[in-house]
Amino acid sequence: MRRASTTALFAILSAAVGVASAADNATVNAVWVDEDLSFTYVGFTSHYSCGGIRDKVAYVMQQLGARPDFKVTVAGCLNASSGPEIMPRVRVRAALPREATPTVLAELTRERSTRELAAHAQGKPAAVADEATAAFPAAWRMVTFEGTPSSAVQDGDCELMEQLIRQVLVPMGVREVKGSKLDCVPHQVPLNAVNVKLQVLAPTRAPPAKG
């Protein structure tokens, strides 16, 4: 009797895993959501020039599929020789797909007047301001960053990735999944310190060509 109950339990758990997997792979309606987020990088192990940290963050955003018009800027650059900075402030203005839930759509509606004013100031038709609210099919995909010597993100970038995920990526709707790991140790660079696994929504088809 106990064996039969155990078998039934495994069947239920397997079905639950299957449902979760199917949900992750399901296509949803999504919209581009613009965010303007900043953080001051504080590192005990690795320090970057302003150009270096800008390029590193831009690489991560590109890999995550941020809309091509994203911008990464850095302030607080005191080193005229482009050497390492102590506490540079990184600003990320970017859009990633978010599921078109009622809450997200309501927020975009509240921002509509602002977009229309910006479009008018730039001499663009008002319809351009609503392009961001146009829904499109999207599905979750996995993006992995492993700190190998040959990769753009290395083990020495552990502190940067930790702060970037917490202060920028998670607020933008990126999900850190089971098995993702950051092993940051001050003043040390442990082997395999960076093994980040992120899920992000991505369009299931390329946008139509303009013009």
Q: What is the DSSP string of 137-155?
A: EEEEEEEEEE--TTSSS-G
Structure-model confidence comparison of residues 24 and 114, the more confident one: 114
Q: What is the pLDDT of residues 19-30, one digit of tens each?
A: 344 455 689 999
In the beta sheet, which residues pair with residue 40?
Answer: 89
CA neighbor of 198 nearest in space, from 13, 61, 35: 61
Task: Provide the 3-class DSSP secondary structure of residue 117.
Answer: helix
* pLDDT for 100 beyond 50: yes
Q: What is the pLDDT of residues 39-73, one digit of tens each?
A: 999 999 999 999 999 999 999 999 999 999 999 99
Burial class (CB in 10 A: 0-12, 13-18, 19+), 183: middle
Question: Is the entire prediction scored with pTM above 0.95?
Answer: no
The separation between CA 4 and the C-alpha centre of its own chain, rounded to angstroms, equals 45
